[in-house]
Amino acid sequence: MLAARRGELEALGHLDGVHVPLVAPIFQLSTTDVSTVDSLGRLPAGLLPAVDVSALPDGAEAELARWGVPLMPVICLTDGERRLAAHGITARAYAGRAVVRLRIGQDRAGPHATNAVVERIWRYARLAPEQCDLLVDCGEVGCRADVRAVEPRARRALEWARRHAWCSVSVVAGGMPPALSRLPTDEPVRLCRWDWLLWQRLADLDVGFGDYGVASAAPDVEPSADRLPTVRYTGDDAWWIYRWSRRGGRGDLRVADLCRALVSAPHWPSAGANFSWGDHEIFRRARRVAGAGSTANWLAWSTSHHLAQVLAALHQPARGGEPRSGPPPPRSRAPRGGQPRRVG
């Protein structure tokens, strides 16, 4: 789940051909993001994004079929009849598929009421359940108490989902704090990935994994609002936040110092600069063979590494030798036991 910022789009643009089939990006657009339509059309071949325009008012801008860009619509349970019909047109024009987003923090209803809502979606969008990927969006989980509170609600939603023949079912959550400005600077700060922990607790239900990248699930939060050089580096079960203010106002020196600290840390991957495009860019700054970059660049490097880290983690064998990931999330058609997929 991404916000279609330049940095996130740049990271997706540097995915290699091996990783493209494993990533399913879902963009949440605000009224200021419509200008990114052209960028969506320049994503790597084979990377078909899904787009959520629920924040946009009804009109031509929210009718995705008019954009002229191959994509999948994201259908929300609160969408009106006109928007549902438009989403159905978009789905049939491209992949013949749509994503249905069930937000368990906002779309609270019993199973019978939810059945009525999704049947209405299928009727007005003229889609069958088999053409829809269900996304159970748990929103922000920022601590262990949030995980304990959200898990039973997610389990109830997933139990309800078994009543229908969805193309796939995935769980998405976000664990990054809404703001990092109060964290210490000039030292790596460890933050638990509560969204990853939540999915691990639900993995027995055989569902796909999704997250909000390195951004917060809270709406309208800019990942680098404090403007200090910041890298959000994803580890196995935690993020390592690098916010650097040392060496005064020289941005290139601060970024070089930050990157040197990162490449010498225990959580720097054994593959080093070859782990992802973002890791390569960080390594170049550590050696001072490139400039400091910008807030968009720091977000791009962080997102690139995050994608590679999550894909690697999902592909690690669990007990019994099977991949740790569940069934394919939206867009995938891999058979059970094939390569793991994820929602971006």
**Structural domain includes residue 1:** no
Q: Once rounded to an integer, what is the mean pLDDT over residues 50-56?
A: 92
Instruction: Determine the pLDDT at residue 338.
Output: 35
Instruction: Determine the pLDDT at residue 219.
Output: 67
Instruction: Determine the pLDDT at residue 71.
Output: 93
Q: Per-residue confidence at 220, pLDDT binned at 50, 70, 90?
A: low
Q: Per-residue confidence at 67, pLDDT binned at 50, 70, 90?
A: confident
Task: Examine the pLDDT at 326 and tell me if it is beyond 60.
Answer: no
**Structural domain includes residue 287:** yes
Which tokens go with 191?
């933050």
Instruction: Determine the pLDDT at residue 296.
Output: 93
Instruction: Determine the pLDDT at residue 55.
Output: 87
Q: Once rounded to an integer, what is the mean pLDDT over residues 21-42?
A: 80
pTM > 0.95: yes or no: no
How many folded domains does the chain comprise? 1
Instruction: Determine the pLDDT at residue 95.
Output: 87
CATH number at residue 120: 3.20.20
Task: Examine the pLDDT at 40 and tell me if it is beyond 90.
Answer: no
**Structural domain includes residue 68:** yes
Q: Once rounded to an integer, what is the mean pLDDT over residues 78-93?
A: 95
Instruction: Determine the pLDDT at residue 320.
Output: 41
Q: pLDDT tens digits for 231-265?
A: 999 999 999 999 998 765 677 889 999 999 999 99
Instruction: Determine the pLDDT at residue 3.
Output: 87
The range of the structural domain enclosing residue 60 comes to 6-343
- Of 27-31, 119-123, 230-234, the one with minimum mean pLDDT is 27-31
Instruction: Determine the pLDDT at residue 35.
Output: 61
Mean pLDDT for all residues in the chain: 87
Q: pLDDT tens digits for 140-190?
A: 999 999 999 999 999 999 999 999 999 999 999 999 999 898 999 999 999
Q: Per-residue confidence at 38, pLDDT binned at 50, 70, 90?
A: confident
Task: Examine the pLDDT at 45 and tell me if it is beyond 50.
Answer: yes
Task: Examine the pLDDT at 335 and tell me if it is beyond 50.
Answer: no
Q: Per-residue confidence at 119, pLDDT binned at 50, 70, 90?
A: very high
What is the share, in percent, of the chain residues with pLDDT greater than 90?
67
